[in-house]
Chain A
């Protein structure tokens, strides 16, 4: 017997306590997950509407350009706003969304690993070619340690992100973009598929890609689709484009946070399950040891009794 009965008993007690803690953490993450999922759903509606309007506006501009001067001119829409304009790419910015806390399983390592692969592929490890905007402490610390250029770091994203707080981050990004800190901006985050899986996703954020105009159905365009734009396309775009960028970033962070809660929940559930397994193994061991002790005692008593006869 390597371990005494008392030792095993102590181990069972401590494992039980740890299991209780991880179980509680699982419940907390689960509650947060339902909360954020609810908010995500109402937010998706907003994002969809915004995207639709953006599409309509761009389509509208394209129609009038198309009718006036043919298809080549319709490319001109992209020069209307500084956030739409494509510039020669000297430097690329990456927003990397990680978690602030640990205990989220492979959530952070997935993002960091995939991002490193991406950086290697796009820039062959040349650190002067990219800048990082880190959302969440884990990513910030990691890339800082590696000596990457971090333009901005943002810690302390709420459990259920608020639109107002994300706005500041977006404002900084747009300012950096305008100042030429980078010529295009990607956002890397974990996309929440369901509570067990999430996938790494990279979206191009700035300059706003032509995707918004891709839905335009050139065949069915006629004047019935033509909008009155008040006061002018330029002014509306000036207001709409930042709102659109904000919504994209907020959507990604929301998605990432949902994935984080899900990952945390799964990790804690695994931990609880492991604790349960450990406890049942230890109980078995404990009972065996106890029985062995009883058997020894009985043999001793019988031995003692027979010696007296």
Chain B
């Protein structure tokens, strides 16, 4: 990068590149807690939780992009941060109504799975719930 303290952030999902911008600071939730990345960080590979990823844009003073990322992991090397996840959505692309609907559905599924003691189904529904809650959080914080 030409300027100091700036690095590239790419977020890639099976549906293509969701996010690609220059950033000054990237904050993601790793397995053990939040992980902040600035330029010239040492190479790192970290698994991520289903949570929000925030990137401070290089082309503005205080604009922060928020992206809802469903797990996956982060790799940083040579001032390029790549996040690879099953799915990821930027705050502005999230359909709030659908997320709320998904949340309700997941909650119902958890109830149903608890009644019949289906551990697999419950775990799956819990992941779905976490995704929906994450999307709703990201939207409500940044819109």
- Closest chain-A Cβ to B33's Cβ sits at a distance in Å of 10
With known contacts A53-B82, A239-B73, A46–B16 Cβ distance under 8 A: yes
Residue among B10, B71, B84 with the most chain A CB within 10 A?
B84
- Closest chain-A Cβ to B47's Cβ sits at a distance in Å of 5
Assembly CA distance A227 to B42 (angstroms): 7
With known contacts A230-B31, A240-B73, A46–B13 Cβ distance under 8 A: yes
A45 lies within 8 A of B16 (CB): yes
Q: Mark A39-62, 1 if CB is under 8 A from B, else 0.
A: 101110110011001001100100
- Closest chain-A Cβ to B93's Cβ sits at a distance in Å of 15
Does A250 touch B at the CB level, under 8 Å? yes
- Which residues 239-272 of A sit at the B interface, judged by CB distance below 8 A? 239-240, 243, 247, 250
A230 lies within 8 A of B16 (CB): no
A236 lies within 8 A of B12 (CB): no
A226 lies within 8 A of B17 (CB): no
With known contacts A225-B43, A243-B72, A231–B32 Cβ distance under 8 A: yes
Assembly CA distance A60 to B17 (angstroms): 26
Q: Mark B84-115, 1 if CB is under 8 A from A, else 0.
A: 10110000000000000000000000000000
Assembly CA distance A225 to B76 (angstroms): 11
B47 lies within 8 A of A236 (CB): yes
- Closest chain-A Cβ to B76's Cβ sits at a distance in Å of 9
With known contacts A230-B32, A239-B73, A39–B44 Cβ distance under 8 A: no
Query: By the criterion of a CB under 8 Å from any partner CB, how many residues of chain B are at the interface?
Result: 26
Assembly CA distance A226 to B77 (angstroms): 10
Does A228 touch B at the CB level, under 8 Å? yes
B84 lies within 8 A of A46 (CB): yes
B30 lies within 8 A of A230 (CB): yes
Assembly CA distance A57 to B43 (angstroms): 11
Does B123 touch A at the CB level, under 8 Å? no
A46 lies within 8 A of B14 (CB): yes
Does B118 touch A at the CB level, under 8 Å? no
Neighbour of A228 across the interface among B13, B42, B73, B86, CB < 8 A: B42
Does A218 touch B at the CB level, under 8 Å? no
A-B contact pairs, 5 of them (CB 8 A): A46-B14, A230-B30, A239-B71, A243-B72, A250-B14
Seen from chain A, the residues whose Cβ lies within 8 Å of a Cβ on chain B are 39, 41-43, 45-46, 49-50, 53, 56-57, 60, 163, 224-231, 235-236, 239-240, 243, 247, 250
Sort A-B residue pairs by CB-CB distance and give the 6 closest, nearest first.
Answer: A42-B16, A230-B46, A163-B14, A228-B44, A227-B43, A46-B12
